[in-house]
């Protein structure tokens, strides 16, 4: 059975995340200590105890999710469970690259630290927001974005499921698009609590410094294909990966296409690696025939260990 690992992005965080892993596994304690050294603040204290408002800050959220995801991935690898293909939603693409062997943990964390800071800063320089549109086809959302952005910016940012698309842009234009979506018959159209217009042209101020960091860091050829957010195509090209990670800041996450191409490539079992179960829920809406297991806690890891043992015996 071909197993694909998928890694969550911003929005999956919660206060208390990783605390059970820290208590149970020396590897988790080691990774959090290394993270504190790279980040310059106490990541586990914020992850375990909050406050929630601090954890929601982009510059904190992104490293917190990344570290949690990599700990879970490495514990799975210790059990002999490795992916045949990987993908990550937005920030999760960095976790996926570590799982593919393209990044070391430290390199990935340094890039995620910078990415979170730059995205948070971009949201201050050019204030923006995002909104979830549920119940409209992609073509309809594309059209209302064009209508709403006559004087500004609002674009599709995340194609999360066939009927859930997140839009991103300036405050006025996103709010105008939300009203247009409601008039067009959307089941829900709601502004999200975010610190900027991610995956939109308003993130352009983050690209120069991120480009330099990506060009100067070591990226190895992945041991398995990674399906890129911006192309929804599998690749193992280091040149393509650098370009995709940069483009990802201002271009949409093509998650529906990404999952579908993975299924077409023979992936019939998925594991969501990291906090929460957001991607598991989206996967069910994209392809209900495919199995997905969310793994983010010591209990989840214990269950996977039992399942793996049963598979070997049979």
- Residues acting as catalytic residues: 90, 199
CA distances from residue 276 to 9, 135, 226, 248 in whole angstroms, order as listed? 10, 23, 21, 22
- Cβ-proximal residues to 309 (8 Å cutoff; 6+ apart), any chain: none
Contacts 24+ apart (CB under 8 A), 276-284: 276/8, 276/11, 276/12, 276/13, 276/14, 278/8, 278/11, 278/12, 278/89, 279/6, 279/7, 279/8, 279/89, 279/92, 282/160, 282/161, 282/164, 282/255, 283/6, 283/259
Q: Which residues pair with 132 in a beta bridge?
A: 166, 190
**φ/ψ of residue 289, rounded to 5:** -85, -10
Helix/strand/coil percent split, the chain, to 5: 55, 15, 30
**φ/ψ of residue 159, rounded to 5:** -90, 85
Cα 48 from Cα 20, distance rounded (Å): 9
3-class SS of residue 168: strand
């Amino acid at each position: 059975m071909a197993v694909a690992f998928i890694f969550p992005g911003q929005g999956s965080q919660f206060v208390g995340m990783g605390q059970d892993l820290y208590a149970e596994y020396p590897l988790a304690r080691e990774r959090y200590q290394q993270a504190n050294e790279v980040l310059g603040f106490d990541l586990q204290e914020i992850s375990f105890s909050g406050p929630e408002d601090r954890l929601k800050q982009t510059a904190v959220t992104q490293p917190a999710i990344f570290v949690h995801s990599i700990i879970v991935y490495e514990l799975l690898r210790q059990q002999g469970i490795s992916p045949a293909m990987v993908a990550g939603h937005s920030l999760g693409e960095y976790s996926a690259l570590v799982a593919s062997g393209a990044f070391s943990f430290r390199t990935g964390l340094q890039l995620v630290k910078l990415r979170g800071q730059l995205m948070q800063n971009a949201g201050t320089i050019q204030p923006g927001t995002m909104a979830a549109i549920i119940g409209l086809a992609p073509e309809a959302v594309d059209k209302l974005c064009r209508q709403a952005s006559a004087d500004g910016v609002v674009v599709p940012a995340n194609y999360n499921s066939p009927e859930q698309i997140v839009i991103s842009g300036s405050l006025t234009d996103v709010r105008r698009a939300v009203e247009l979506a409601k008039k067009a018959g959307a089941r829900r159209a709601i502004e999200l609590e975010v610190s900027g217009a991610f995956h939109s042209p308003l993130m352009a101020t983050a690209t120069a410094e991120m480009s330099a960091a990506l060009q100067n860091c070591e990226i190895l050829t992945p041991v398995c294909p990674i399906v890129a957010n911006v192309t929804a195509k599998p690749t193992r090209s280091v040149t393509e990966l650098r370009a995709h990670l940069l483009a990802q800041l201002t271009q949409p996450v093509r998650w529906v296409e990404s999952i579908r191409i993975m299924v077409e490539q023979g992936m019939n079992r998925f594991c969501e690696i990291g906090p929460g179960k957001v991607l598991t829920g989206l996967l069910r809406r994209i392809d209900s025939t495919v199995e997905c297991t969310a793994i983010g806690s010591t209990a989840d890891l214990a269950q996977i260990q039992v399942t793996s043992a049963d598979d070997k015996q049979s």
